[in-house]
Amino acid sequence: MNHKNNCFKLPKYLLIFLFGTILLFAFHSRINAQYYVSVNGSDENVGSIQKPFKSIQKAAEIMVAGDTCFIREGSYRENVIPVNNGKQAAPVVFTNYNDERVIILGSERITDWKHHKGGIYKAFVPDIVTQLFVNRHRAFPARYPDFINGDMYSASDWSQVIAYSNGKAVFQDMDKPENYWKGAYCKILTGHKWVAHIGEISGSNSDSIQCDERSVPWNDYNPGIYLGKGKGYIFKHLHALDNVNEWHWQNDTLYYFPKNAATINSVIIEARTRQYGFDCTNKSFIRINNIHFVWSSVNFNAAANCTLDGGSVWFPTPFFYYDNSWVRNKGGDENYSIDHWDGKGVHISGSNNIVRDCYVAYSWGDGVSIGGIHNKVKNCLIENCNWSATDAAAISATGFGHKIEGNTLRTAARSILVHRFCDSTDIRYNNLYNCGLMCDDLGLTYSYHTNGGKSEIAYNWVHDNHASGTASGIYLDNYDSNYVVHHNVVWNCAYAIQTNKPAVNHEIYNNTVWNCANALWAWGREGTKVENQSVFNNLSDKPLIIGTIFKTNLTTSNPLFIDPENGNFRLHEDSPAIDFGTHIPGITDDYMGKSPDAGSFEYGGNERSAGSDIEIPDL
């Protein structure tokens, strides 16, 4: 019997179909890879837990969607740049292993010091040094006069100066040879002290310096506001290096004046040479979990759906040089303002990125800088920012559709949260305090010339603005419009809520104001006005006098709060604010009793709080 003619034969097209199906199944059933990194590993290894890589970058170069990199305990001196994107259901994940402590450093240890002259030593460092740390404590850039008091928010040891619009600045009690400071830089905080200015010194005389290249607005733009008398110092010149714990870098050489010359090669001296520890520019679906960035930061520039979750960022922004002391805008570009701002902290632009459960602190610029659309900062503790006394803040936000929620933001030279050029953004449940430590005319929240697009500023605790003049809580400056400000508690400010003219379509509902000289205020040039500003259901100890439509606001010196001295502004059962208000759809829907209560808290209602619940990690 001939079996050959009885063989079953598949058609060619069916074979091709089956082969393709098998390949597709194999592709989708790929087991997501796990890679391991250890300071004791080798990049020649396979990246297993038994044979880990040495660098995170080695894993970042081969990881694809769905892969995870587990990082073992230790310090890594890297700027990690992922090569491939993740996917929505399969992100690329970098995380610590089993709660081990992982640190990414932006520094290199400096050894092999040689004597320069006097108390100064030097070492060869070819990379630009932006910060120096000795046994994990800051050393200070050399400057004149010396940095004595150790307070980054004090100008008490700066020199008295008078600044002019032609770039000249006269220093009190200075007597130096001609061009002694040529090539150095000058920083001044003068006039009304809105922001500090910087200039490159093109020449100097015994008591004055000339800066031909200088930041805006150290020029002819309104010198009556920005210039005149104030404070200043000179830096970035070897002549300024004359005191212990000062440093200076130039021409591939790092100079340092140690406290004890005998131990200079035994103490740990770290020079910051990298801005970022992770750079996810133009990447998508990258997750960074529980990593501590020390003397480095994270860059989500033009990124999408990337997440920084847990961990910390210490010293995100070193001293920076800027040509404009203000964040700038360019119409139609949600990223422009932040991308062109030199004081970026943790940098987020692009779309749908998240920074969550992070501690961020000690920045010359911003703590977190947000551009783009639909980005989030949630449950973070951000503090000690804007040492530069510019327009930087704990959070600076531009763009559209962001959510800034549940954060504790505190301690800054100027404002705490700047949301200029920021549309349709929710700022809610944050605890904002301790600002105005160097500058003036500012708010704990601050915006200018912005259509808020019904942005909500709501359920925040806003308190303790220390500026000497215009010290506002919620500050909607000139030409702002379309903000909804409700259920905030504002205390210990000169102006609780300020809506400078022209102001259009603001809604001010159910706020509690206490111990503020002015509960609701506005300033504007002659001929400008407040238009269509609704002011309902607010509770204050001073009259609310700015607005166009007023309804059921309660002004009383005895509102019967539970414990205002300790920040508890909930209502006692006998408070006159109970049932005093008017129902506002979408704002007071959850009221109890006959009518909504005046102020931020509904008696018997939700015991809400504001701010972050994370703890400060050890450095």
Residue 15 has pLDDT above 90, yes or no: no
d(CA 579, CA 571): 11
Backbone dihedral angles phi then psi of residue 56, each to the nearest 5 degrees: -65, -35
Q: What is the pLDDT of residues 100-152, one digit of tens each?
A: 999 999 999 999 999 999 999 999 999 999 999 999 999 999 999 999 999 99
Alpha carbons within 13 angstroms on the beta-carbon side of residue 38 total 13
The burial of 370, by beta-carbon neighbours within 10 Å (0-12 exposed, 13-18 middle, 19 or more buried), is given as: buried
Q: What percent of the chain has pLDDT over 90?
A: 89
Q: What local confidence, expressed as pLDDT, does residue 394 receive? A: 99
Q: What percent of the chain has pLDDT over 70?
A: 94
Backbone dihedral angles phi then psi of residue 60, each to the nearest 5 degrees: -60, -25
d(CA 238, CA 265): 22
How many other CB atoms are there within 10 angstroms of residue 165's CB atom? Answer: 17
Residue 1 has pLDDT above 70, yes or no: no
Displacement of CA 139 from its chain's centroid (Å): 23
Q: What local confidence, expressed as pLDDT, does residue 57 receive? A: 99
Q: What local confidence, expressed as pLDDT, does residue 221 receive? A: 77
Q: What is the mean pLDDT of the chain?
A: 94
d(CA 606, CA 128): 53
d(CA 364, CA 38): 32
CB 324 within 8 A of CB 345: no
Q: How far apart are the first and last CA of the chain?
A: 85
Look at strands 395-397 and 518-521 and give their pairing.
unpaired
Residue 390 has pLDDT above 80, yes or no: yes
Characterise 421 by phi-psi region: left (phi > 0), alpha (psi -120 to 50), beta (else): left
Displacement of CA 351 from its chain's centroid (Å): 17
d(CA 351, CA 605): 36
- Whether the ω angle into residue 52 lies within 30 degrees of 0, i.e. cis, is no
Least confident of 25-39, 516-530, 533-547: 25-39
Read off the amino acid at residue 619.
L
For the chain, what are the domain ranges?
Answer: 34-105, 108-271, 310-571
* Alpha-carbon distances of 290 from 52, 72, 131, 354, rounded to whole Å: 19, 12, 24, 14
Opening angle at CA 69, ends 67 and 71, nearest 5 = 170
Least confident of 334-338, 467-471, 478-482, 551-555: 334-338
User: What is the number of residues in the chain?
Assistant: 619
Residue 58's H or E segment, with its range, is helix 56-62
